[in-house]
Structures are given as C-alpha cells and as structure tokens.
Structure 1
Amino acid sequence: MTLKTYELPYGDTVKTVALPEDEVIAEVRTKSFTPIPKEAVKSKILEAIRNPIGIGPLDERVKPGDTVCFICNDLTRVANSFDFMPVFLDELNRLGVPDDHMKIVFSLGAHRKMTRDEMAEAVGEEVAARVPMFNSDCYADQDFEYFGQTTRGTPVLINKLLCDVDHVILTGTIVFHYFAGFGGGRKAILPGCAAMETIRMNHQWMMDDRVGLGITTGNPCYEDQVEGVERFAKGRDLFLFNAVLNAKHEFLRMYAGHWVKAHLEACKFVREVYGVPIPREADLVIVSCGGYPKDINAYQMQKTMDNARIAVKKGGAVILVAECREGSGNQKFEDTCRRLGSYDAIVKELKEHFVMGANKAFAVTRNMQKAPYFLVSSLDPKLAKELMFAGCVTTIEEALALVRPIVGEHPSVILMPEGSLTVPLLPEN
C-alpha cells in the first residue's frame, strides 16, 4: 500500500492528508488551460472591451462627459477587479469621461456591507482613490427604484445608483451556480443590486425542480433574473465584462459586450474549464472550497457542498475542508437550522413562506439527504451540530476516524481540492 500526501486549501493555508493511492479513484481539478501571462493581462482586457460580443464597442457608445456606474463583486467572490478596473477607468478617460463622472457599486445581494478597506482591496487603492464607492444595501428600501413586476411576480427594485447614469458596466467572474445555472452576467444587477423583496421572490425558485448547475434554458430562477434586468435595461446602456479564472485566480479568458449574449458565450467555456468527468460515485468525498474567500463562512461553503454531493454515493460520506473564519455568515440561516432542526421542517416552512437566509438552511440540509457531511473547520462544533453537520473537527485525520464506521476501512475516495469551482460529471451525463 503506497501512501500519497494530498493538500487541500483551507483559509489562507492548507490541510494535508495521506491516503492509499489505490483508494483514490479521482482527483477533481479544473482542466489545464494556459492562463493569460501577467504581462499580457492589460492588453487582453482592452482587446475584450474593444471587440465586444453582440454589441457595439464603448467608443461608439460613450460620449465625452457621460456618466458611468461600474458594478463590482463583493468580498465573497474572487474577481480580480484590481486588475481590470484601472484599465477601464483609463479607457473611459480616453473616451472623455473624467473620474468624477464615474462610480462603483458593490453588488452585495443579501451579503453584509463591505468596509472602505475591503472595497479598496477589491478594486485596488489607486481606483479607490479616484472614484467614489458604494455598497448596495438590500435592506435600505429608500435606495431602490421600482420597474414593475416580472411575469413570475418578482417586483423589480434596483438600486438608484444604477439609475442616474448614462452607462452601467457589469463586471465579475463566472462559475457554475447551484440553482441559477451560472454566476456572472445579469446577477450583478439581480440579485446583486436589488432590494431584499426582489431577491426573496426570485430566490424562491431555488426550490423548483427545474433549476440546477449549468441550466439556463427553462430555469425559472435564471429566466426571472434576466426578465427583471430587461425591465431595468429599457432605455439604458448596459455593457458586460466577465472573466473566467482558474483555481489559482489567474485569468483564462475575458468576455465583454451584451450582458446576455457575451455571458452565454462565456458560459460555454466555463463548462469546459470546470466540468470534470469522474468514473463513478465514491464512498468518500474529501472536498475543499478552495480556501479564502470561498470558505469565509458556512453560508458560502454551501456551493461546494452541492458539487461534492454529485460525487458521493448515496449513504457514503463527505469530509468538507472549510475554515469559516466568519462563522455561519448569516444569522437567519443559523436561527432557522437551530429552531427547526430538520430538513423536512425547513422545506415545509419555506414552502409556506420563503425567507432569505432561511433558504440557505434548505440548500445546506438538502445535500445532507444523500450523505452526512463532516467538517474540518474552525467553526464552533456546537454551531456545526446546530447547522446539522455530522461532526466538526480541526484535522482531516480526525474526520477520517469519524467516517470509518460509515465508509469502511478501504473506501473509494474522490478528492476535490477546488470544490467551489469544479462540477463532477458522471459517465451518464
């Protein structure tokens, strides 16, 4: 029996584990695509901006003196905004838009507000010193303008900061999303810069059987988001810049142009990069979110749980490596799990009245219906139990001891060190 040591990202460090090589049936990683060299990043950004998909270039759309609002990802997403935002500002300066005619809104959705230092870290200190920056706070009702309802009944309430400018530029990165199909694109606005009631009504579709990873056509959540943004977009100029990164946060490709057409084109590449074939389901999946900020809290690590669920056998077990330095990440999520105590009770209550935060309780515990999840985490073990995890320890070795009664002494193992990104593809898919 030959042992091999594997590393799984954890916060800003790694956790290691030695496993028999013949028990590991797959190590799920993003496909190897040559990243854009650092010295070529600026030119590739400009190339994408100046050759957009499905829409005219900025120099045909932007007039001197126009006003621009950029939408940037919050601290829960890796976006490399600090690389492309200085290029964007300089390009718009070249087109006659001064810095004082531009601003940045961070698309928080229902996430916590960012500090000024966190904003500056996201976009770079140079950009932070040049243009004003704002949080989109979904709870500040007075900050939103109403654009009617979607055909599915979602009220379209969008942050006013996006409504008083000539151009809105949506930025971010694209990965698979567990119920909206893919991240990026329209999500910068809805849910990113939408009011809580808009987010709540849209997100209730996560309980529909038609939603899922990589699904856009026929996905009621995705289609509702697109329709909502279409209502906002009437008479406005929207421009998209989305990038696809690898697990090392390096740029692989950049897409710019029409906020739907360019996004869907990018999604084709996302399938190539992050969809990873596996031979079969395993007795045991050992998965990492990919380190900070993907494992910043339990709220965010749920996406990794969905990906791991695909790879584990019914009745097997999952060891989830996630630091969770900010705890659960959402009080409503935490309280719902503590109060209701079971998946069935959570489903019943949400079907009667869908509540944001409580929806995460559904998303987390749904995964546990296939296999128990054991945490390797700094999360308080008492809290982990209340969130219905099967155990919470600080090393993978301790977790292995806990799962042995479930998976046996010689389980088949799938390792997922980039678990928030990679989507396992079974042979029948």
Structure 2
Amino acid sequence: MNMRVQLEYGKGAYEFSIPSDRYIGILMPREAEPLANLDKTLSYSFAHPVASPPLVDKLQKVKSALILTVDITRPSPTPLMRAFLELCRERDISVTICISLGRHGPMAETNLRDFLTPEIFDNYPVVQHDAFDDSIHVDFGYTSRGTPIKVNRLIQEHDFICGISYIEPSYLMGYSGSRKLIIPGIAHYSSIDANHYWLIHPDTRIGELNNNPMHQDAMEFMQHFRFDWLTCAVLDGKDRIIQIYSGDAEKAHRLACADSDKIFRIKGQTADIVIASPGGYPYDWDLVQGKKAIIPAMETVKQGGSIILLAECPDGWGAEGTFKEWLLTKTPEEVVRDVKKREMFSLGAHGAYILAKPIVQRQATVIIVTNENLVRQLQGSYIHAVTTVEEAMELAHQHCTASRPTYLAIKSARRLIVELV
C-alpha cells in the first residue's frame, strides 16, 4: 500500500507515492496564527519599539532616509514599507530604497516593479546593490576575523538608515534579517566571501546565534555603521506574517528570532531516502536558493542513503563562476578539501561544498529534480539531475545501500531546524 505525498515545487507542487509501511512521515514547520491586523500591529511596533524611542521621535530632524530591504528570493516587503514611507512623506523626508542583493544578480526592472508594486517603484528612487562595482564601495578596515569592511557608500549619504526584512532561520547566520541587510546585503564581494568562509566552522549552523562565528563577524561588521531602525516580520511556514518587531537592530531582531524558533525548530528521525523541497517559489528560483533544502536532508539521511531535492530553478544556476566550475570539474572529496583553503574560498565554492558535504560525510547520493535545461547543464557533475520524481526515486533506490529503504519527506526544508530524536 502506498502513501501519496505532496511537496512544493516552483509555483505548484509535486505529488508522488511512497510505500506506507516504510514511510516515517513528513517534517514541516509548526502551525501558527497569522496577524489579524497587520497595519495595527505595525503601527504599534512604531509607537512601542524595542530598546528605542518611537519612530516619529527618531524622524524629527531627518532629511533623507535609506531603506535597506530584501530581493525577490523573499516575500515582497511592501506591506511593511508603506507605513514608513507615509511617515516620511508627511515630514518631507526624501527616501531611497536599496535592494540588499549581496552577491545575487539584479532583478529585471519589470520584476522589480511588480515586487515593490508600481505605487512604490514609480515614486521613489530604487537602487539594486552591486557587490562587484568597486566604485560604489567605501573601505573601513577589517573586522577582528579579517573580513574587509567594504560597504555601499549609500549608507554614508543618508541621515537615517532603516532596515525592513523578514525573519526566518538561515542555514549560515542562524537567522535572516538585521545584519544580513548590511552583509551580505550591501557589502563588497570580498567582504561577503571573507565572512562566508566561516561556514566551515561547526558552530555555523541554522538556528544558532550565540556561538556562530559568521553571525558574530557580521555583527562586528554592522557596528561600524549607523543602523537607526529595524522593522522585521516573523514568517510562518506559509510565508504569513505572525509578528512584527521594530526598533533596535540587534534587540528587535533577537525577539523576532525567538518567535521564529518556536515555529521552525522541530524533532525528526533519520531515513534511508529523504525527499526535500526548499518551499517552492521563490525559494527554488535558482540553484543557489534551491540547494538550501539539503541542510535538514543532510541531518536526517542515513549513512549510504539518498537525498532527493525538488527545486525548479527557472533562473538556472543563480551564480556562475566557481559554483558551476567546482560542481562540474571537481570530485566531492576535492571540494570538501579545497573549500577549507582560505585562498581558494568564495561564495561559489561554498555552494559547491554544501552539495558535496553529504556525499563525503554520509556516502549519500544527491539527486535533484529540476527543469530540463538545468538537467542538461548538470550532466557530468557529482549530483544527479532529472526532470521527474519517478526518475529520482529509481536512482535513489539504485544507489541506496538499504534493501528496504525508509522514507522521509521535508517541506519548507530551507528553514527547518531539525533536532534528531
């Protein structure tokens, strides 16, 4: 007897069969109640911020404000942005919006206009950060861990710096938001790569802040600049807003992370074959985003097992260069070895490492179900690429060492914090 299981894929879902007698279950975020009145909660957070005077008081002498916010790999920030823009309009404060892209590629103008809405895009200057343009960055030395403090000069050219972001677990810095709007958000690529080198540290992991060296380095980086205000919304597993905090960039963020932890930290078991989805669109927009589903899959797959990732990746790789080169030309063992050499490390190298790690450490087989074009481009790499779940299951069975494998499915895998029981 088979069990039908459905996981997110692109803007839809994939449904497939698993033998019910060997199906451990599905891991997913806990249910949470979305806000009944977003605007009311947002206004309350402005008037009663965390460790900060109210927003109207902070804006009294401001002439120009810079909003740092997220790109298309997150939900649109406009529901959180409108009230701030209205307060600025009433006070004749000029506002520039900067999309904190980090190393991500720029959004097409039509996509950006839809993302921010025509109402905002057509009435405010919108800048997309370019981490590779040396001319727009200013240099402030180095962090104690050796990260160059190079950042977009826009942060110096405004009276008021406001961050607007969403909070969810992050597989590198513990949680998203706040300092991530600065680095990687508006940092130079050399700063981003140096900070991300710390991913090889065992305490750099999802849901960890206190001992996470990447988070600590980013906090030190951020403290070199003014960050006057943070508004952050806590998301549930369906991308609904369940709480909003505003105020101090560190303290408001910490409260939001605590709420997020209650939703995404779950108990789980290991299985021979793990099928994981990052959460569908926009979280599988490209391979850079889609690969994040491997984090909980790597924690839950048994030795000699198989991991199946469901990621449509309509935008392809999401990063060329080292990411693509290492996947296509190195063995998993070479990737795991070379990523530890600081002179060879880059964000692309880290992407290749994430996919190689379970192959080396668990002797697992990694299979991705994706679009036909990316399947062709991944031929010859150390991961298997197919266009259907049925093909992936067949490969998983061929490579799995268990004769009667057990199965585990993972929804919203890119942000689940799994504790094994």
What's the TM-score once normalised by structure 2's chain length? 0.94
Does the 8 A contact of 1:82 with 1:121 survive in 2? no
Residue 50 in structure 1 maps to residue 47 in structure 2: yes
Equivalences for residues 287-326 of structure 1 within 5 A: 287-326=276-315
Tell me how far apart the structure 1 counterparts of residues 346 and 395 of structure 2 sit (CA, whole Å).
34
| Alignment match of 1:41 (pick from 38, 42, 61) | 38
| Alignment match of 2:206 (pick from 206, 210, 213) | 213
Greater alpha carbon shift after TM alignment, 188-197 vs 311-320: 311-320
| AA of the residue aligned to 1:380 | L
| Alignment match of 1:274 (pick from 264, 268, 273) | 264
Aligned match of 1:183: 176
Does the 8 A contact of 1:336 with 1:346 survive in 2? no
| Alignment match of 1:82 (pick from 58, 64, 78) | 78
| Alignment match of 1:356 (pick from 332, 342, 347) | 347
Structural RMSD (CA) = 1.8
Tell me how far apart the structure 2 counterparts of residues 343 and 124 of structure 1 sit (CA, whole Å).
46
Aligned match of 2:326: 336
Tell me how far apart the structure 2 counterparts of residues 250 and 407 of structure 1 sit (CA, whole Å).
40
> How has the CA–CA distance of structure 1 residues 215 and 372 changed in structure 2, closer, same or farther, with 3 Å as cutoff?
same
Identity %: 27
Question: Alignment partner of 1:224: what SS?
Answer: helix
Equivalences for residues 392-403 of structure 1 within 5 A: 392-403=385-396
Equivalences for residues 195-210 of structure 1 within 5 A: 195-210=188-203
Aligned match of 1:252: 242
Q: When the two structures are aligned, how many residues end up with a matched partner?
A: 415
| AA of the residue aligned to 1:288 | S
Aligned match of 2:59: 62
Unaligned segments of structure 1, at least 5 residues: none
Residue 64 of structure 1, CA deviation: 5.4
> How has the CA–CA distance of structure 1 residues 68 and 27 changed in structure 2, closer, same or farther, with 3 Å as cutoff?
same
Unaligned segments of structure 2, at least 5 residues: none
Tell me how far apart the structure 1 counterparts of residues 347 and 17 of structure 2 sit (CA, whole Å).
40
What's the TM-score once normalised by structure 1's chain length? 0.92
Question: Alignment partner of 1:211: what SS?
Answer: coil
Query: 1:27-50 deviations in whole A, cap 9, x for unaligned?
Result: 11111111113xx12112212222
Aligned match of 1:23: 22
| AA of the residue aligned to 1:93 | R
Residue 416 in structure 1 maps to residue 407 in structure 2: no
Query: 1:161-188 deviations in whole A, cap 9, x for unaligned?
Result: 1211111111111222222111111100
Residue 132 of structure 1, CA deviation: 0.6
Ranges of 4+ aligned residues in structure 1 off by more than 6 Å: none
| AA of the residue aligned to 1:34 | E
Question: Alignment partner of 1:119: what SS?
Answer: helix
Residue 367 of structure 1, CA deviation: 3.0
Query: 1:2-22 deviations in whole A, cap 9, x for unaligned?
Result: x33221111111111022333
Query: 1:86-144 deviations in whole A, cap 9, x for unaligned?
Result: 222113334x144xx00100001011012222222222221112211001100111101
> How has the CA–CA distance of structure 1 residues 414 and 349 changed in structure 2, closer, same or farther, with 3 Å as cutoff?
closer
Query: 1:361-419 deviations in whole A, cap 9, x for unaligned?
Result: 12221133222111111153343344421x22222122111112315564221111221
Does the 8 A contact of 1:159 with 1:195 survive in 2? yes
Does the 8 A contact of 1:85 with 1:127 survive in 2? no
